Chain A
Amino acid sequence: QKEVEQNSGPLSVPEGAIASLNCTYSDRVSQSFFWYRQYSGKSPELIMSIYSNGDKEDGRFTAQLNKASQYVSLLIRDSQPSDSATYLCAVSREDSSYKLIFGSGTRLLVRP
């Protein structure tokens, strides 16, 4: 079992819809959670971080964390074609806080 799992996609949504991206992790001591966006041929860019259970909103993005169920999700409201990218989930553990474990990413396609 991979430490961080994501559906590779592609997840295809129409413009204006809500895109829901999911991530599960296996290690219960995981403490911090991050979503990175990576456009094709470019480097990853941090878009959200979440550290406690519940929701965290930033503009059109909402990160949701449920530590009991070991999943973290990213909602993108009013999806735009410019949101088309690969979204990488990453987690860090309390005992190795300098290291991130990345999932393999979910490719999102927003159709005009």
Chain B
Amino acid sequence: NAGVTQTPKFQVLKTGQSMTLQCAQDMNHNSMYWYRQDPGMGLRLIYYSASEGTTDKGEVPNGYNVSRLNKREFSLRLESAAPSQTSVYFCASSDTGLLLAGEQFFGPGTRLTVL
């Protein structure tokens, strides 16, 4: 039982390059989330998927796209990376229900640097 896994762990991109961050969970959770964490800013929600087949924008969606591939997998794509997207990216998952949705389990994170 691996919980939430993310790949890659580290990535360096040049401005304008594209990449996809992968996330998978084996807890049979319906909801999945992508956050970014910057120093002094806390965690900010980029996109989330309340259930398989649905995705919605969070607080900071510009410059990103997501795909909920199936119940287990939720990917985040940067189409044209910018230095402002240098950050640590966390994927999380949770069960559904009004109360359970806040009890989120996080992956280990991807540390992305855009030069």
State yes or no: do A and B come from one complex: yes
Q: Which of B40, B42, B106 contacts A45, CB < 8 Å? A: B106
- A34-B103, A98-B50 known; A44-B45 Cβ under 8 A: no
Contact B40 A90 (CB under 8 A): no
Most interface-central of B94, B99, B102, B103 (chain A CB within 10 A)? B102
Q: Is the interface of A mostly helix, strand, loop or mixed?
A: strand
Residues of B within 8 A of A (CB): 31, 40-45, 48, 50, 58, 90, 94, 98-99, 101-109
Stretch from A11-19, A53-61, A77-85, A101-109 that touches the partner: A101-109
Task: Report A69-105 CB contacts with B as 1/0, cut-off 8 Å.
Answer: 0000000000000000000101010100111101111
A22 proximal to B (CB < 8 A): no
Q: Which of A46, A99, A103 contacts B42, CB < 8 Å? A: A103
Q: What are 29 A-B pairs with beta-carbon distances under 8 A?
A: A4-B42, A8-B40, A32-B98, A32-B99, A32-B102, A34-B102, A34-B103, A42-B108, A42-B109, A43-B106, A43-B107, A43-B108, A43-B109, A44-B90, A46-B103, A46-B104, A46-B105, A49-B99, A49-B103, A51-B99, A88-B42, A90-B43, A92-B102, A94-B98, A98-B31, A98-B50, A100-B104, A103-B42, A104-B40
